[in-house]
Each structure stands twice: as C-alpha cells, then as structure tokens.
Chains A and B, each alone.
Chain A
Amino acid sequence: MEDSSQSFMERMHTGKTSFIYFGNHVNPTIKLFMEQLEMSADALQDYGISVVKVNCSKDAIANYCTGEKLMTKAYLFRGSEVLRSFDIDTVFDVNAIVSHVLFSVLFNEVRYVHTPAELLRVESTAKQNSDIVVGHIPVLGLPEHRALMEAAFVYGTKYQFVQTSGTLVLKHMGVVDLSSSQARLWFLHCKGVSRRSDPCPSTPMRKPLNTINIHTFLQLMEAPLVTESVLDPSEVDVVHLHLGVPVLYLFSQPQTQHLDRATAQTLGLQLRGEVGVVLIHRDNPNVKTSLKYNAAYRLPQEDVKYFTLNSAEGVVKLFKEELLQEQKLENEEEDEEHWSDLDILDDEVSESVYRDRDLMLDLESVIELTSDTFQITVTQDDITVVLFYFKWDAVCMAFIQSYIEVADALEGMNGVKLAAVNCGEWTDICSDQNVTSFPTVLIYRPMAAAQLYRGMLGTKSLHRFILLSLGSSPYILSSSAEVMSFLEGDLYSKHMYLTPVKVLGLFSSTHDMGVTSFEEAARLLRGESILGLFAHKEAEQWVEGLSVNLPALLVSRGPGVPYEVYSLPSSSPTDLVSLIKQVELDRFPELTVENLPWYLELGKPLLLLFIGKEDSTESTKALAEIKQPLSSGQLDSFLPCWIHLGRTPVGRSILEKYLGFVPPLPVLVMSQLKTGEEVFLFPPERPLMAKNILQWIHDVENGQEQPAGLIPDGKWGPPVPFFDFLAIMDQEAPTYAVQRAPKMKTGGREDHRENKHVTPNQKQTPHPSSNPQAPRQHSEL
C-alpha cells in the first residue's frame, strides 16, 4: 500500500498500527527490501497491522522524508506515535519484518529475559496463575523468531511468553552444548505448581521451531498427562493421534490400580511432549488385549503394536532410543559435526591472526635482534624499545601488528629505536633478560636498568608511552613563571595531545627529604605521566590560601580547569607512584576501552551515563546535571562516569546486556558490579536532572526501585567439552590405559605385550543395570 501525504495524515489519526517505510528513490538494495516489504504486508494484515510505503519524492512528509536516516529506516507507528524505528538491514526480509514488528507490538506481553534470575522472577509471578512459554532465539529476525512471535500473538493471553538470547538461560535450562546456535523452546508448567516455593517443571520442545510445531507442542502441553480409558487400545481416541504423536498404552487391574496410575504418571512426565500415555483398565469387557502383553504403542498412521516390557525405564528407553529415533538421527549428525568443529578456532585473537597467515609481516621498521646484536643495539640510542615475542603465540602476533604501526609512526625520529626479539629462536636473550611473560616490552636506556612497559598492548598506548618517555621525568622547574607555563601547557606543549593531565610536586627547597622520593617515583612513572618538580622557596605561593601545606602535589587537567592540590605525605617511591596514579584519575571520566581498568580498580559502583554518538544538547545537559552534585561530594560512594557510543561503540552491547534493549539516549544506569548483580535504570520518563538523579539513587539504595537487569555471575568454564583421549583409548584399546592389577609382575616390555590381552578391563563389561528394588513398578511389568 502506498500512502500519499493525505492518506498518511489520515492514517495518523486512526490510531491503528502501521509499519511505514519512507523512500525517495530505488536502488538495488532498496528494491530487494521493497519486495520483502510487500510480502510482509499479507502476513502482517492477519495481525491488523498495515504495511505502507511513502514515496518521498512525491509526498515529502515532514520529519520522515528528510534527514540522513531517510532510506535506511522504517518506522512502526501506533496512530501518530512512533513505537520503534528499524534499520532496514535489521528488517531485511519478510521473516525479520514480521518478527521485529510483532516483537515491538507485543513488547509488553513478551518478556525479554537475559539471566536465569530474571526468568525466575517471571516464573514466580506466573506460579499458580499461568504457564510460561520460553523461546531461546539466538539470532533475531530469522524464521524461528517469527514463529515464536506469531505464536505469542495467538497464545499471548493464555501463556506468559518469554524470549531470551542469553546462553546463561540456556545453561539454566540444562542445555549442555552451548555452542550450537539452534533456537529452542520450553514449556514451563507454572500454573499447576502446588506450592509457590516449588519450581515450575519444564518440558523442552524437541522439534525444530516453526509455527506448526509450536502449535502442536502447545496442544500437547494442554493434553492431560495420562488419559484413562476402558476401551481397547485401537478404540481409544486421544488428541495425540491427531497431532501425529505416538501413544503408549498401559494396562491396569483393579487390585493394582493405584500403583499402575503412579507408573503411568511417571511415564507421562518423562515422555511429555513426545508421547501420549493412556491407562487402560482391564476389568472392562471392552478391553480385549491378551494378558500376555502388558503394554502397547501406536505410531502415527500405524496400527497398535503390543509388547511386553519389564520396567518403566525400558519403556522410556524403547521410545527415546528406537521409536523416536528419526529425530534422534538428526541430533547425532549434529554431534558428529560438533567434533569436526573442533578444528575451528574459537579464540578471537587466534582466529584473527590465523586469517592473516598468508600475509608476510613487514618488519622493516623494526630491528630484529640476535644474540650477537642485542647488547650493542640496546645501548646505542636514548631509548631502545624491545618487544619479546613468540611467532606461534597469537597474542604476540596480534600485538606485533600494533608494534609495527608504532615503529612506522616513529620512523626517523631521533633517539628512538624499536626492536624485537623472537624468543623462539633467541631463547638465551629472553632468559637472560628474565622475560617470563609474552609479549613483553622492555625499554632500554644506556646505563639504566630496563624498564617494563606496563600499559595497554596497543598502538595508541605504546606510542604515547614512547613519546612521553622521551621527555624528562620529572621536569625540573626553576621559577614560578616556568611552573605557570608547565601547568598551562605552553611549556612542553608538544605533549598536550598525549595527555592533558600534569602533576607537579611542590617542595619548599631542594633539601626537602621528599624530593629524592619524588624523583624516584617520577622515574618509575616515566612514559606514563607528565611530572614536574618545583623545589623552591616560591613554591609556597602555589598553595597559598589553600588548606594544604608543602610538600604538595598540584594536578592540572588542562588549560582553564581549576587545579587540584593534595598534601604530599613522606612515603616510599612506590607508594608515591600509586598516589600520583590515583590523583591523576578523572572524577567524572569518560570510560573507554583503554582506561576502564584504572577506574574499575576503585571498586565503586558505577553511575554510568550512556550518550549517543551525535553530540546532542541533551547529552551535554545530562553530563552537566551529573557533574553538579559531584562537586558537593554527594556522589562520593559512586564512580560517576559516561560512555560515548560514538567513540566506544561497544557501549551499545553493554546497554543491551544490561537491559535487553537499547533505550533512547542518553540513559543513566547504575550497575553495582562488585557489590551485587542488579542493574538499575534511571526511569526514562523522568527528566535527567540533578535532583531527580539524587532522588533515584536514594530510592535505589532504599530498595524502592526494581532492577532493570542483572549482571550474571558467569563462571568462565571451558567453552567446549574437552577431547578425552583416555575415554577414546578405553574404547579403542581397552587395556592400554588401565592400571595394572596389584600383583602383576613388572618385567620387560615383551612380557607386557602378552599381558595386554589378559589384563581384565572392568570398563568394557559393565554389569547390566537391573534394578530389582525400583519403586513404583507397574504390577504387570
């Protein structure tokens, strides 16, 4: 359906839901999208949603037909209100359109959960109330997602629908193989739980996720666990037969009725969703089955088959391993593939380095050192930076790319040389230099001990470190004018772009005991910080009027920012180093990939503002609103900080993990990390203002706010099952890996080889697991 501006305006007033795409021209990409869009029109019509396109070249509709997002976005309206906007590459085909649109429309009905804890919360409200359908959809917008959404639309009033994509929930549901990206569905029987403290029993759907299978599955979940009947098996009519599901018939006699019913219930539970269970009372004349059989089954489109079984486990085994084998077969194939998957690298660093295996590294700007050249080379220049690496270590090889970038950037600079030692070859150098961790970067200066580079292993950090290392540490300042120039960035302004932060040690005289300590600390911090030393009688002036006496530390965060002053206790150089590192930290930092560890170390809960990539006035305002209570110390127990999604795009994933979705920005969250698992979201409807924020913090602290998400306490166990050589040996060469029997003679090899065949192997001949005392046995079994 195509809208003119007239019909568009009318539509806005109907209050109906519509999915609208605004475009002004057609390119091949758009053309494909349009085809998919038209196909979705039919599908969405069933749900009362119109699909509309607006040709902006004909009817320029304000707000939507302009701007850069034109062409690449589609919108979901309810009346004139925009519910959601979508990138057209998110809604790339009919399945994606239907699933995303329905997901948005059903936003209040379908709960999106991320963690087992969230799921448990949904369960606890649903208990004794309604059953829950949980869909695990690893990739949104695919047919499985659409099937779940369509089911939610139909059954949404009857069941609580839950969607998840988290692997934690998968684990919680007992899935072992987390590597498969298969969509899954479970039915949680919450309605019938007798006590609220009981967990909801769950039944997994074993068939692939599609509309028909979901429908069938939900019907089965409604069917009684055990149907009792007084007819012969072939006469019994149960819903399972209509749904193409096998049926198991058990026979009962009056004197054992109670036990038989219990057995049937147990089996019903074990086979729920796959097999229907019918209990037939033999005392009725309609039942003609011979007494020599105690059970029967009927597969879809087949006749009843009678058989005799000895135990309930046997029945389950029969179904699971034989009768339902068709489906099983598929799973086994997957298992086999799983082992060949072992040859796929699952480590992002290894894989990305491996994909470069055809590239020859251009080490031209880096000097490769050998045992013969090492000693001479590292004493030649002011600074020789040496990387110690292994060729076969992926992390080293990932870093060496950055290292070469730094070397290229510094090529031709006087006094700096970048070199590398391949420890696979020059193992003697690496041992002599006490390198035990790889990669390692050491900085050599003539006549000085090597300095370990402790920063991030990346181009920017290392480059910055080397440039800063070239300067003195500390800069010795001799007059107040020099101090001014140092702090305001005129002096040594070439470092301004490296770091705006400067730290100045103020001492009343060079004889002050603390000066040596400070100088030593400055040497340790060489390359990491810009430090000045002013040991002079004029130093007093710089702390005048402040509540601090000399010696003192003065921190400048760039021109125009007020200085901070701290008194400097007499302490060891290493303590001084940590003090300086601490005062350098920003009080309201922008968190980036490179600086986060410094701030996490503080161990405070985060008050984290996410701002969008466009520097909007809203973002600026929000930043200012948080800064306000900062100076008054009201946020001291927190680390207020922010993430700019433009500069740190991974922030978007963080929001998604916290909340399950990305709300309109800016958004303020509190995540307590070390102290708890909850993530709180500042209510989007409230204005982001200092007093509201403080009120919200207060509410959170008093437990008056509901968490919006959870930070899982995931145990980072092995990502894939390990390849068990012992198990394989036991299977393929049963005696090979078995400990000898106690008194066997320990002779020469030849003896052993003979013994091999007689060594008893307990593993191979397990005792048949008969269990005569199994309770609740069917009397006839």
Chain B
Amino acid sequence: MHVTICNHEYCVLGAGPAGLQMGYFLSRSQRDYIILERNTGPGSFFQIYPRHRKLISINKIYTGRRNKEFNLRHDWNSLLSDRPSLLFQRISRELYPNADDFPRYLSTFVKELGLKVKYGADIGTIKASDFNGNQGYILTDQNGVSYQCSVLLVSTGLWVPQQVDFLGSDLVEGYESIPTDPEEFKDQAVLILGKGNSAFETAQSILGRASRIHLYSPSPVRLAWQTHYVGDLRAINNELLDTYQLKSLDGLVEGRLEDIAIGKEQLYLTLTELLDQNGNNISKITGQNLPGFHTDNFSLRQPYDRVIRCLGFRFNFSIFDGSARPPQSSGARGRLPGITAWYEGRGTPNMFVLGTAAHSRDYRMSAGGFVHGFRYTVRAVHKILEQRYHNIAWPATKLPISQLQSWILRRVNEASGPYQMFGVLGDIILLRGSYCEYLEEFPLQALPQLSALSGRPLTDQGLLVLVMQYGLNRTDTLGPGRAESEWTKAWRSNFLHPVLYYYNTLPTEKDMRQRPVGWPLPRPEALHHMVEDFLTEWDQPISHSQPLRRFLEHCLQTDLRAFYAESCFLLSLTSRTPPLFCRQGYLRKQGIVGNSHLWQHAREAGLMADHQRDITPGDDTSVSEYLKHAGAAVVSTMNFDL
C-alpha cells in the first residue's frame, strides 16, 4: 500500500463550526494547519440534525443597535472573523433559521476566508507519538494517509447517538432515523425516551397526528428560560407542555431508563423488577409482567405503537488509540472527553478539544457546547496556543488607571464573549500601579495558571476579574420580585449582570477547588455586583457608574473622581500629590476644562469651590436666598480684602 505522510503543525479534526473557527484563527496568525473532514462539505452534522430542520439558535437581526460587538450577543450562529459582512444573517433572515442554511453559511465562511480544509479524509485512528521530545499525534485516514501533527485540535463534535441498554431496547427507533413526515404517526401512540430539545422537537412535529405522546426520562423537564441554560428545553419546542397541562392526551413521566423493558408486538412498557429473574426472553412478557397488573392506575399502562429514543449524542472515543485517548468526563454521564481548564485533554498534552465536545467544562451551566459560546472559547484556546507554541503573549490593552472605569463599562455594555460564556470566560485586569493591563475573555477556571497561559507576568498589585453571572435565586423566574433595581442589593440580581472580583494575589488551585458553592471564582478580597438592568445597559451614573467607581477606588486605594481643570489647578498648587485624575489628565496637559454652565451646576451641588462670589456681588440676591446656599458652602469666603 502506498503510504503518504503529511506534516502539519496544527491538525484540526472536523470541519464543523468549532473546527472552522479555529481554522480562521490559525489562518489569521499564519500557522501551518490543516482541517480534516471526512465528509464532502463542512458542518455535515447539520445536514441531518436537527431532524425537523429548524435551528433553535437565535438569529436576531434587528437589535436597534449598530454596535457590531453588541449585536453578536443576539446572533447565535455566526462565527468570528474580521469580515463584518461574514455574518449568518447574510444567509438567513429568519429568527429560527432552517438547518440547511447553516452548512451553507459554513461553506461561505470556508470559501471567503480561504481556509485549508481537506474533505473526504476519514480519520480512523489517532496515536500519540514522540516528536523530538514533545508529544505529537499521528492520524491515519481510510486511505492510509498519515498526518503528523504537533498539536491536535479535536473538533469532532458529538454525533454518536446516546443509547441505553434495556430489555427490548432493540425495538426502539432512534431520533437519527425516525421518519420526519408526521403522517407516518397518524393515530399512533408514541412513547419518547428523553425530555430534551430533540424529544420535544419530535413530539412537536407529530403533535397534530399522533394520538398520544408520552415523554419518559429520569429527570423532570428543565426549561431553558428558567435555568438560563440554552441546552435545556427551549420554549420554541415546548408546545407539548401545553397539551399536557391542558389534558389533551399527552404527558411527561419520570423514571430511570435502565429500569424499563419494552415488550414485543404491542409495545408495552414495563419495569425490569417485574420480569422473571431468570427469564430474559421478551416474548415471554405476559400480563403479569406489566405494571398495570399490579397497580391498576399505572400511568404508562397502555401499549404504544412506537417508542423513540431522543437521548442526545456522545463523543466518539473509538478513533483514539489508548495512547491518545482522553478520559471520559466526570459529568455529563461520561459522554464527553475530560479536559483541563484550558481545554487540553487530560493526560493528552498538545491535544485540545474544541466545540461541543469541550462542553464538559461548563455542561448545564453556560454556552460552551453551542456555537455562540464556543466561538469564544476557541478564540481563547487560540491565544493560549500562540503563547505556548509561539511565545506571543495574550493580547492586552495598556490603560492608565483613570481610564479603567470607562473600559469596564465599555466591555460590560457591548462585549459578547463574557455575555454568552457567562461564568466561564471573564476579562482580567492586571493592576500595575498607575496603569493596568486589560486581558479579554480568559477561561476563568484556568486563573491559577494565568501567568503561564497568558505570558503576562503578575505583580503584587493584584488583579480584577470581570465576569457576567446570573444570580443566586432561580426558583420563580416569572414571579413577583424577580427583578432587582436597587444597586445596593445587586448581589441578589437574578438576571445576567456583571460581577467584579478583586484579588491581592492570584487564587491558587486549592482556592479554586474550594470556591463557594455555585460561584465561578473563589471568595475575593472585595466583590462588586453591578445591578441587573432590564435593558442590559449598565451606564447610569447613580446605579452603575458611581458604585463601580467606588469599588475600584477601594481596590486601588485611590480617589478616582474626575475634576475640572480649575479644581486640578487648585489641587496641583495646594497638595503635593493631586488626585489621580488630575495627574493623568490635567498635569499631562489634558485637563477637562468644562464651561461656566457646568461649573455652575458643580458649584450649586457644593462640589466645586466658588471663588466668583465676590466678583459679582449680585445686587439682586436677597439675603434669605443667600442663606439657603450658605449651608452648602464648604469653603470660607471670608474677605479680608480692604
């Protein structure tokens, strides 16, 4: 057999959204990379799924805003690039687009950015190998072509249907192969295993034809609008909840999947405990094996015409040789590979997992399993690669401290990464005395390794972390008192809101492990919640800016108020170190002068000294009127002038 070996610094496995996203960043930084795809086009998963062809990722085109970053908060399908026009809305204007549009979008993305994708390369095995002392990977495809990769980026997604083994599970149809024509379900009783989006999507499509639809799975349905987790049941798929609660013959039942059995001919559901201990022949199921025989009002006592499995997908571990196989994740029922906080496989150095397969880091928590979330984690991983393999430090903006507050407000009001990847990606501000370095969208769980991963040295001045978070109370999402408007109670905010953590020193691994329950980060030295905002505009002076300023003042132990040039003039001559704002503005000849109209306001508020009074004696000012203002005067106007 003819053996071909290709060498690449980076191999990206899979041309789905995550693979292409990484491809874009590698191509932008001009790295030697190849994207390997076994199908003939990108995003092949979306050629099949979702089966009923409606994407439930939001494609909101009209936001009333023209801020490109902000608009990405409401665009869940686009990938990141420097082409402003390369957005999904070019392909579809639908809020919930047709699934065919997504591979079309991905093809456009590949074409316009000239990404290097090799189609038709079906990788069968992945082996670890030693390249000059570093662990690398050798991938072999169906034609025996080998790819030697210094760094392997696994973005294969999840596509192996999740199955559960029980008696009669062979009688069950899978979501991947059921007919999608509702007519095929006419007057049929259907049992669906699962209560996720695919189960409800299936139910919804046959709602008008099936006689009875029952959804069965261990846990009760979790509603995305209650849990804020987009992987839970989305409202667009939940019509069945209506027919269930209005008693229109549909329903939800909880029970363990391992405990059931399905009888042949007529599909009866029964419990394993009712089967004969030694008999595992399903044909032997008789009336006595059925729960209805023992409990006359057992919910699922009627037989079904079809049983459908909608249990989601799992990661394909089978292509990994033992030397290269990442462990199974501890969460998500082991369906995902276990990875570090910086998305490297545990025990598989130089192999990173991207996209939906990397969801074990924030499973049931944030958006890392979805395009609108992992496009940002991919970007973060790319920055880590640049640092580790090319010694290019994490990009940072150097800001004078007097500008910090306005940067934080800017990020809070427009940034999409921390907004989508709430609790997972956060901005890091390294304090360096009179200035600071602003790092965007760092994976929070990797904070103890900040210095090594980012290439940014730490000083003893401490750091701030800006995170978007939902609040602690998640019980009554639509009930009264769900919204908090008092900034002093901001920590009780239920909706997504910005939170700032201040640490003197970088938290250690141990601090991270022992962080308070439900928190993304350990208990900091000081903490600030910015109160949730109905419009997600955190820009109001009293409720947002001033409390933030005071928090920063506490962390930096300095006065951060702004002063007009005149005040800075006074303070520069009468104190040896004027306030920071004067030092970084006025004394660098960039004072904010203002005008008499504004000064008047400031004087009336008693914030600015009034020296004008004896210039214009104000004949029309009555004494009583003067008295009113006298209380506010802070500076003496004693006049010793002869």
Interface positions of A (Cβ within 8 A of B)? 28-29, 32-33, 36, 72, 82, 84-87, 89-90, 92-93, 100, 138-142, 165, 181, 339, 342-343, 345-356, 370-371, 390-395, 398-399, 401-402, 405, 423-428, 436-438, 454-461, 593-594, 596-598, 600-601, 606, 612-613, 646, 648-654, 656-658, 661-665, 671, 673-674, 677, 711-720, 722-726, 728-729, 733, 735-742, 744, 746, 748-749, 752-753, 755-756, 759
Could you tell me if A650 and B611 are in contact, using CB atoms closer than 8 angstroms?
A: yes
**How distant is B607 from chain A, measured CB to nearest CB, in Å?**
4
Could you tell me if B66 and A425 are in contact, using CB atoms closer than 8 angstroms?
A: yes
Out of A84, A424, A716, name the residue touching B414 (CB < 8 Å). A424
Within 8 A of A (CB), among B599-642: 599-602, 604-605, 607-609, 611-615, 617-619, 621-624, 626-627, 630-631, 633-642
A343, B544: Cα distance in complex, Å: 10
**How distant is A762 from chain B, measured CB to nearest CB, in Å?**
13
Could you tell me if B575 and A722 are in contact, using CB atoms closer than 8 angstroms?
A: no
Could you tell me if A650 and B609 are in contact, using CB atoms closer than 8 angstroms?
A: yes
Say whether B522 faces chain A, with CB atoms less than 8 Å apart: yes
A663, B638: Cα distance in complex, Å: 11
Within 8 A of A (CB), among B483-522: 488, 490-491, 511, 513-519, 522
Could you tell me if B611 and A652 are in contact, using CB atoms closer than 8 angstroms?
A: yes
Could you tell me if B576 and A352 are in contact, using CB atoms closer than 8 angstroms?
A: no
* Closest 5 pairs (CB-CB, A-B): A458-B593, A392-B539, A722-B554, A352-B601, A752-B517
The residue of chain B having its C-beta at the shortest distance from the C-beta of A84 within the complex is: B640
Q: A395-B592, A399-B592, A649-B615 are in contact. Are A664 and B607 (CB under 8 A)?
A: no
**How distant is A24 from chain B, measured CB to nearest CB, in Å?**
14
Please name all residues of chain B whose beta carbon is closer than 8 Å to the beta carbon of A741 when the two chains form the complex.
514
Say whether B535 faces chain A, with CB atoms less than 8 Å apart: no
A718, B548: Cα distance in complex, Å: 12
Encode contact with A along B389-407: 1 for CB under 8 Å, 0 otherwise: 0000000011110010011
A525, B572: Cα distance in complex, Å: 26
Could you tell me if A739 and B574 are in contact, using CB atoms closer than 8 angstroms?
A: no
A594, B568: Cα distance in complex, Å: 10
Please name all residues of chain B whose beta carbon is closer than 8 Å to the beta carbon of A460 when the two chains form the complex.
593
Interface centre among A72, A436, A606, by most B CB within 10 Å? A436
The residue of chain B having its C-beta at the shortest distance from the C-beta of A673 within the complex is: B576
Could you tell me if A718 and B627 are in contact, using CB atoms closer than 8 angstroms?
A: no
A739, B589: Cα distance in complex, Å: 47
Out of B589, B597, B627, name the residue touching A401 (CB < 8 Å). B597
**How distant is B499 from chain A, measured CB to nearest CB, in Å?**
9
Out of A597, A714, A726, name the residue touching B587 (CB < 8 Å). A597
A348, B517: Cα distance in complex, Å: 41
Q: A351-B607, A459-B593, A714-B577 are in contact. Are A100 and B638 (CB under 8 A)?
A: yes
Could you tell me if B545 and A711 are in contact, using CB atoms closer than 8 angstroms?
A: no
A424, B414: Cα distance in complex, Å: 8
Could you tell me if B518 and A593 are in contact, using CB atoms closer than 8 angstroms?
A: no
Out of A596, A597, A719, A726, name the residue touching B526 (CB < 8 Å). A726
Could you tell me if B626 and A89 are in contact, using CB atoms closer than 8 angstroms?
A: yes
Say whether B559 faces chain A, with CB atoms less than 8 Å apart: yes
Say whether B563 faces chain A, with CB atoms less than 8 Å apart: yes
Say whether B578 faces chain A, with CB atoms less than 8 Å apart: yes
**How distant is B123 from chain A, measured CB to nearest CB, in Å?**
34
Please name all residues of chain A whose beta carbon is closer than 8 Å to the beta carbon of B320 when the two chains form the complex.
none
Could you tell me if B641 and A674 are in contact, using CB atoms closer than 8 angstroms?
A: no
The residue of chain A having its C-beta at the shortest distance from the C-beta of B594 within the complex is: A398
Please name all residues of chain A whose beta carbon is closer than 8 Å to the beta carbon of B639 when the two chains form the complex.
85-87, 90, 662
Interface centre among A89, A141, A399, by most B CB within 10 Å? A89
A662, B524: Cα distance in complex, Å: 49
Out of A677, A719, A726, name the residue touching B527 (CB < 8 Å). A726
Out of A139, A428, A737, name the residue touching B633 (CB < 8 Å). A139
The residue of chain A having its C-beta at the shortest distance from the C-beta of B617 within the complex is: A72
**How distant is A722 from chain B, measured CB to nearest CB, in Å?**
3
The residue of chain B having its C-beta at the shortest distance from the C-beta of A719 within the complex is: B559
Could you tell me if A353 and B598 are in contact, using CB atoms closer than 8 angstroms?
A: yes
Could you tell me if A718 and B595 are in contact, using CB atoms closer than 8 angstroms?
A: no
Q: A664-B640, A713-B575 are in contact. Are A436 and B595 (CB under 8 A)?
A: no
A165, B635: Cα distance in complex, Å: 8
Could you tell me if B638 and A348 are in contact, using CB atoms closer than 8 angstroms?
A: no
Out of B400, B545, B566, name the residue touching A350 (CB < 8 Å). B545
Could you tell me if B631 and A343 are in contact, using CB atoms closer than 8 angstroms?
A: no
Could you tell me if A348 and B563 are in contact, using CB atoms closer than 8 angstroms?
A: yes
Please name all residues of chain A whose beta carbon is closer than 8 Å to the beta carbon of B490 when the two chains form the complex.
725
**How distant is B281 from chain A, measured CB to nearest CB, in Å?**
38
The residue of chain B having its C-beta at the shortest distance from the C-beta of A165 within the complex is: B636
Please name all residues of chain A whose beta carbon is closer than 8 Å to the beta carbon of B526 when the two chains form the complex.
722, 724, 726
Could you tell me if B577 and A715 are in contact, using CB atoms closer than 8 angstroms?
A: yes
Could you tell me if A89 and B593 are in contact, using CB atoms closer than 8 angstroms?
A: no
**How distant is B467 from chain A, measured CB to nearest CB, in Å?**
14
Out of B397, B491, B577, B607, name the residue touching A347 (CB < 8 Å). B607
Q: A348-B607, A455-B590, A459-B595 are in contact. Are A738 and B636 (CB under 8 A)?
A: no
Could you list some 30 contacts between A and B, CB below 8 A? A87-B614, A90-B638, A139-B634, A140-B636, A343-B542, A347-B549, A348-B567, A349-B564, A351-B605, A355-B604, A402-B594, A427-B70, A427-B410, A455-B589, A456-B590, A456-B593, A458-B593, A458-B595, A652-B614, A653-B574, A664-B640, A664-B642, A674-B576, A713-B576, A715-B577, A722-B526, A735-B516, A737-B519, A742-B514, A746-B513
Could you tell me if B570 and A653 are in contact, using CB atoms closer than 8 angstroms?
A: yes
**How distant is B509 from chain A, measured CB to nearest CB, in Å?**
13
Could you tell me if B523 and A738 are in contact, using CB atoms closer than 8 angstroms?
A: yes
**How distant is B565 from chain A, measured CB to nearest CB, in Å?**
5
Could you tell me if A736 and B516 are in contact, using CB atoms closer than 8 angstroms?
A: yes
Out of A458, A646, A657, name the residue touching B592 (CB < 8 Å). A458
Please name all residues of chain B whose beta carbon is closer than 8 Å to the beta carbon of A142 when the two chains form the complex.
630-631
Please name all residues of chain A whose beta carbon is closer than 8 Å to the beta carbon of B626 when the two chains form the complex.
89, 92
The residue of chain B having its C-beta at the shortest distance from the C-beta of A746 within the complex is: B513
**How distant is B99 from chain A, measured CB to nearest CB, in Å?**
30
A339, B489: Cα distance in complex, Å: 13
Could you tell me if B569 and A650 are in contact, using CB atoms closer than 8 angstroms?
A: yes
Say whether B168 faces chain A, with CB atoms less than 8 Å apart: no
Out of B569, B574, B633, name the residue touching A658 (CB < 8 Å). B574
Q: A424-B67, A649-B615, A739-B514 are in contact. Are A346 and B562 (CB under 8 A)?
A: no
